[in-house]
């Protein structure tokens, strides 16, 4: 606009009228472990957690599902279809207010079936110790990580998302598939509507491959695991 005014193509800078109209996009960088060998160490440490069984289950699910910590702790049994290997999170619980379907790898289904014997009679998978009417505290996962020796500069509950995103991108999975799994908002609304139900088949393959990859890292195969290349175009 300044160029237009300087060259006589415009009379004034109309963009001044838009200043402050759009909120700035604030990006928060979360501490996360992304080195494969260190991820293996992390997973073995999580498996050794000796606190509450529900907290232990949440710690084991966090790297598998890499959902937002608030969604994980508020998981309800009514939202789960373990036979269909799906978790349907209602729109009201999502940051962007869109319902989100999370495909579950077989390892996550196994963890949830074990947990069902403990908390399946209530509403929440991870109920508060004080009352079954509320989910566990938002600080529970981070407190457990601190207890296991991971400070806030090393790993956080939210860091499991960054960990998965980083490694899955390195392995060649389609960025759109990863972003949809992370439930990141699509800025283009037309594209968002089209993609809402897209990529499910590819996401199912990805989460199972990711869970198997984590199992290999847990077994100490960081120097032997071949990254899973997925260069083919994503399909619905």
The domain that contains 195 carries what CATH number? 1.10.443.10
List, by residue number, the catalytic residues: 68, 95, 158, 161, 184, 194
pLDDT tens-digit series, residues 153-165: 999 999 999 999 9
Work out the burial of residue 199: count CB atoms within 10 Å of its CB; fewer than 13 is exposed, 13-18 middle, 19 or more buried: buried
User: Is position 19 within any domain?
Assistant: no
User: Is position 88 within any domain?
Assistant: yes
Measured CA to CA, the distance from residue 3 to residue 13 in angstroms comes to 10
In this predicted structure, what is the pLDDT of residue 235? 47
End-to-end CA distance of the chain: 42
Question: Predicted confidence band at 130 (pLDDT cuts at 50, 70, 90)?
Answer: confident
User: Is position 167 within any domain?
Assistant: yes
Please determine, for residue 129, whether its predicted confidence score (pLDDT) is greater than 90: no
Per the structure, the complete domain to which residue 55 belongs is given by 31-150+157-218
CB under 8 A, 24+ apart: contacts of 148-154 = 148/45, 148/46, 148/48, 148/49, 149/45, 150/42, 150/45, 152/31, 153/31, 154/31, 154/33
More confident residue, 1 or 56: 56
More confident residue, 156 or 22: 156
User: Is position 78 within any domain?
Assistant: yes
Question: Predicted confidence band at 233 (pLDDT cuts at 50, 70, 90)?
Answer: very low
User: Is position 40 within any domain?
Assistant: yes
Number of domains in the chain: 1
Question: Predicted confidence band at 9 (pLDDT cuts at 50, 70, 90)?
Answer: confident
pLDDT tens-digit series, residues 72-96: 999 999 999 999 999 999 989 998 7
Residue with tokens 């079954």: 132
User: Is position 63 within any domain?
Assistant: yes
Q: How many CB atoms lie within 10 A of CB 230?
A: 18
Measured CA to CA, the distance from residue 148 to residue 49 in angstroms comes to 7
More confident residue, 137 or 229: 137
Contact 214, 64 (CB under 8 A): yes
Q: In this predicted structure, which of 57-61, 94-98, 225-229 has the lowest mean pLDDT?
A: 225-229
């Amino acid at each position: 606009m300044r160029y237009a005014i300087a060259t006589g193509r415009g009379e004034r800078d109309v963009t001044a009228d838009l200043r402050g109209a759009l909120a700035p996009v604030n990006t928060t960088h979360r501490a996360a472990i992304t080195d494969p060998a260190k991820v293996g160490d992390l997973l073995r440490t999580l498996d050794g957690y000796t606190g509450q069984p529900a907290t232990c289950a949440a710690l084991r699910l966090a790297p598998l599902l890499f959902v937002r910590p608030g969604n994980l702790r508020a998981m309800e049994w009514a939202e789960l279809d373990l036979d269909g290997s799906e978790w349907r999170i209602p729109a009201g619980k999502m940051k962007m207010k869109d319902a989100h379907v999370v495909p579950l790898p077989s390892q996550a289904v196994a963890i949830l079936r074990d947990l069902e014997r403990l908390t399946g009679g209530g509403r929440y998978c991870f109920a508060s110790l004080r009352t079954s009417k509320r989910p566990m505290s938002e600080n529970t996962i981070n407190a457990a990580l601190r207890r296991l020796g991971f400070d806030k500069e090393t790993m956080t509950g939210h860091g499991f998302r960054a960990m998965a995103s980083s490694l899955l991108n390195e392995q060649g999975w389609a960025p759109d598939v990863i972003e949809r799994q992370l439930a990141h908002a699509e800025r283009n609304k037309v594209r968002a509507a089209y993609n809402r139900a897209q990529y499910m088949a590819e996401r199912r393959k990805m989460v199972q491959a990711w869970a198997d990859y984590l199992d290999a890292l847990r077994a100490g195969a960081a120097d032997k695991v071949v990254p899973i290349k997925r260069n083919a175009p994503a399909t619905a």
